[in-house]
Amino acid sequence: MTFVQLLEKFKKTALEIDEDYPLFQPIYRVTATDEDLGHGDRLTYTIETQLSGPRKGANSFGVDAINGVVSLGGEDTLDFDRGYHVFQLTLRATDTAGLFCQGMIIIKIRNINDERPRFE
């Protein structure tokens, strides 16, 4: 029996996106391999945990279960000024027998100049 394996480069990946990154656009593609995946079998990709900071509670990212594409899901804005500076996603690839592997993506949010000046 062979365990599902994530490609070495994915086990821990860090990337950076602007706070105004468009919704539902690909950010990263997770890739896993399974040496004994049979005909008709497939890998399923899921997000196991999604942590944000310094503000907590956002679930802004999603992963396509079939192709492993991670995108911004749109449940909450990535507004840097509201406290979303970094996200840590734990992703899982599971085969049809229930064997799985996990990896992590750290997504840093880049602040952009999106506030108008105002008189005090």
With respect to residue 115, please indicate whether it lies within any of the assigned structural domains: no
Express each pLDDT in 29-42 by its tens digit: 988 888 887 777 88
With respect to residue 117, please indicate whether it lies within any of the assigned structural domains: no
3-state secondary structure of 113: coil
DSSP state letter for 2: -
40: CATH: 2.60.40.60
Express each pLDDT in 26-75 by its tens digit: 999 988 888 887 777 889 999 999 988 777 766 789 999 999 999 988 66
Report d(CA 53, CA 86) in Å as an integer.
Answer: 5
Express each pLDDT in 82-119 by its tens digit: 888 999 999 999 988 898 889 999 999 999 988 888 89
Is 79 a residue whose pLDDT tops 70? Answer: yes
Instruction: Identify the band that residue 10 occupies on the pLDDT scale cut at 50, 70 and 90.
Output: low
Report d(CA 118, CA 86) in Å as an integer.
Answer: 28
Tell me the residue range of the domain where 19 lies. 5-110
Tokens of 57: 């509670």
With respect to residue 116, please indicate whether it lies within any of the assigned structural domains: no
Q: Chain-wide mean pLDDT for the chain?
A: 84
For residues 48 and 63, the answer to whether their CB atoms sit within 8 Å is no
The mean pLDDT value for 8-14 works out to: 69
With respect to residue 68, please indicate whether it lies within any of the assigned structural domains: yes
Domain count, the chain: 1
pTM of the complete model beyond 0.95: no
DSSP letters of 33-81?
E-TT--TT---EEEEEEEEEEES-----EEE-TTT-EEEE--SS---GG
